[in-house]
A and B are shown apart, each in its own frame.
Chain A
Amino acid sequence: MMTGMQAAASPLRTLAHGLRQRGRVTWRVLQLGAMVILLALSPSSWRAPWRRPLAVQLVRAALPLLPWFTLLAAILSLVIIRIVLVTAQSYGLSQYALEMVVRVLVLELIPLTAAFAVAVRVTVPMAAELAQARQVGRLERVRAQGADPLRTEIAPRALAGIFCVLLLAAVSSLVALVLAYVLAHGFTPFAFERYTRLVGQVFNPVVSLVFVLKTGALALAVSVVPIGAALHAREAGLAGLELQGLVRMFMVVLAIEVAGLAGNHF
């Protein structure tokens, strides 16, 4: 009898334990996000001695990624712009093609692509580094030496991820806007005024606000969620941690996208 009840209670307990663990990690991740934002906004982080680790992580994250991601975004934009322009022309709707290109590429695709690229190339490896450091006790050693691992190790990496997403999104959006102009009008300056007007129509205040909020939220999510998961999850095993971080990050990104779409279109 007792064993049957224990057997029945065991999955429930496991589920409750899992939910508690998940809630704890989520709370820690939110805390980490808030602390990273606070540190980014406090001027002391941008002064010595904290400036140096931040600068190192920024350069390490952004510099190798910037050229090839710009190239990738340019190729992707080129293909999509060409497809949209040709398709719209074949349906006789070419007057709406450019607006659609700007909306689809700049507002939707490029921030998402930049966020995923940074996640895959920057923040998930950084989270793995931190998880390893945590495993081998290096963070504890730093703390024992009297330093704060949040300021020396964690926040610079998260801030580097945020900065990287914003930089990549800005550069690729600019590239996409230029490519759209060139593909639609050719190398002529005379369509600039009309193109500018179209861009102005697309970026109305609501859409601009949603775009800025969405890009910021994506940057924060892909930077903080994997690092937070790596630091606070209990399970051992780097591969499992990475996977967990990726899944969490994917869920958060999905939620942000849904919220962004709702903000833009409802």
Chain B
Amino acid sequence: MSDEPTPPPLPVPTLPPSSGREERRATALLLLLAALVLASVLYVLYARGAFEPTQRLVLMAEDSEGVVVGMDLTFSGFPIGRVRRTELAADGNVRILVDVPRKDAHWLRTSSVFTMTRGLVGGTAIRAYSGILTDPPLPDGAERPVLAGDASAEIPRLMSAARDLLANLGRLTADESALSTTLANLQRATGRLDEQLAGKRGALGALLGDDAPQVAATLARTQQLLTRLDGLVQRTDGVVARADGKLLGDKGLVDDAQAAVRQLNQLLAEARTSLQKVDGLLQDAQAVAANARVASADLGALRAEVDASLRKVEQLVNDLERRWPFKRDPELKLP
């Protein structure tokens, strides 16, 4: 390029005379391309969240499998954050650094729970659950554990359980199994039932075999017994009706009892009066007894006086006897 001639008028033989039209068109096309490229770059930057203020959330997981940079953190199905980086922590756990736009950060609270699930088809999903939206908002740079749920990890356990179930099912449906025997018995029973139903003995014959006539006779006798029992009940009913008449009818037992009770009541009233009189008598007797007690007290004193008088009389008699020498009869007779 260094040996390129630099004369000002350069002949351009293949072109028509300049009109400027092509240049304007070319400029327009170039501007269109530039505008498209610029718009695409700006749109992709906007789509990747380059223009929105974010806050950092650090999720601690045991395993970063399936977590890719740029994947979403969703809340109720809406993406509210992007994974910016994953790194190993000092303790061997995985730190998943998530950028949450400030305008969506209010969905995350201090009580929020984060889960990471791996589906059978498709990628891993990180979800946030905020049960109590009135709790304080999650601070910038907060570290939270993430609970991992792995659908594919369940498959071996599920397969093992399914294998057991199938083995059990196989045993159940085997030729010598209990279920098979039961079914065979049932089939035999239904066959016999069918035969009996076709004959005259019916289901009872199928169930009881040769004992069926006895059962039928027992049933007939039971029916006769029931008929007689019915007559008995009717007679008992008549007896009860008569007893009812005797008891509750005119001049029945109840009426007599009522009259007797009335008389008894009267007798009791009279007895009460008699008792009141007895009570008065007793009171009089009590007064008499009191007088008698007083009288018996006086009687004691009187007896003492009589004793004293008698002793004086005795002394007098003794005195007389001594003085009266021709005493004939010394016996003193008391009046």
Contacts and interface: CB of A to CB of B under 8 A. Distances in A.
Interface of A: 35, 38, 49, 51-56, 58-59, 62-63, 93, 95-96, 138, 141-142, 145-148, 152-153, 163, 166-167, 170-171, 173-174, 194, 196-197, 199-201, 203-204, 208
B36 A174 contact: yes
A199 B40 CA distance: 11
B33 A163 contact: yes
A56 B71 contact: no
A204 B29 contact: no
Contacts of B26: 54-56, 58-59
A163 B27 CA distance: 12
B48 A49 contact: no
Secondary structure at the A interface, as helix, strand, loop or mixed, is helix
A148 B11 CA distance: 10
Contacts of A95: 122
16 contacts: A38-B1, A52-B12, A52-B15, A52-B22, A58-B26, A63-B25, A63-B29, A93-B121, A152-B14, A170-B40, A171-B36, A196-B43, A199-B47, A200-B49, A201-B70, A201-B71
B269 interface: no
Nearest to B16: A56
Contacts of B36: 167, 170-171, 174
Contact of A141 (B13, B27, B69, B121): B13
Given A63-B29, A93-B121, A174-B36, A49 B10 contact: yes
B156 interface: no
B23 A55 contact: yes
Contacts of B219: none
B48 A203 contact: yes
Interface string B26-70: 110110110011001001101111000000000000000000011
Contacts of A58: 22, 25-26, 29-30
B70 A59 contact: no
A173 B41 CA distance: 13
A53 B79 contact: no
A204 B49 contact: no
B41 to A, nearest CB: 9
The 5 closest A-B pairs by CB, nearest first: A200-B47, A55-B26, A170-B36, A200-B48, A58-B26
B95 to A, nearest CB: 20
Residue with the highest number of chain A CB atoms closer than 10 Å, among B13, B26, B71 = B26
Contact of A197 (B25, B32, B72): B72
A131 B22 CA distance: 25
B18 interface: yes
Contacts of B69: 204
A153 B25 contact: no
A145 B9 CA distance: 11
B54 to A, nearest CB: 14
Contact of A148 (B4, B32, B40, B47): B4
Residue with the highest number of chain B CB atoms closer than 10 Å, among A49, A194, A200 = A200
B322 to A, nearest CB: 162
A145 B10 CA distance: 9
A203 B37 contact: no
A170 B31 CA distance: 13
B5 interface: yes
A208 B47 CA distance: 13
Nearest to A167: B33
A59 to B, nearest CB: 5
Contacts of B25: 55, 58-59, 63
A148 B4 CA distance: 7
B7 interface: yes
B104 to A, nearest CB: 11
Contacts of B121: 93
Given A148-B4, A171-B36, A163 B43 contact: no
B13 A145 contact: yes
Contact of A56 (B15, B32, B37, B70): B15
B47 A173 contact: no
B67 to A, nearest CB: 14
A59 B26 CA distance: 6
A59 B47 contact: no
B233 to A, nearest CB: 75
A204 B23 contact: no
A170 B33 contact: yes
Contacts of B49: 200
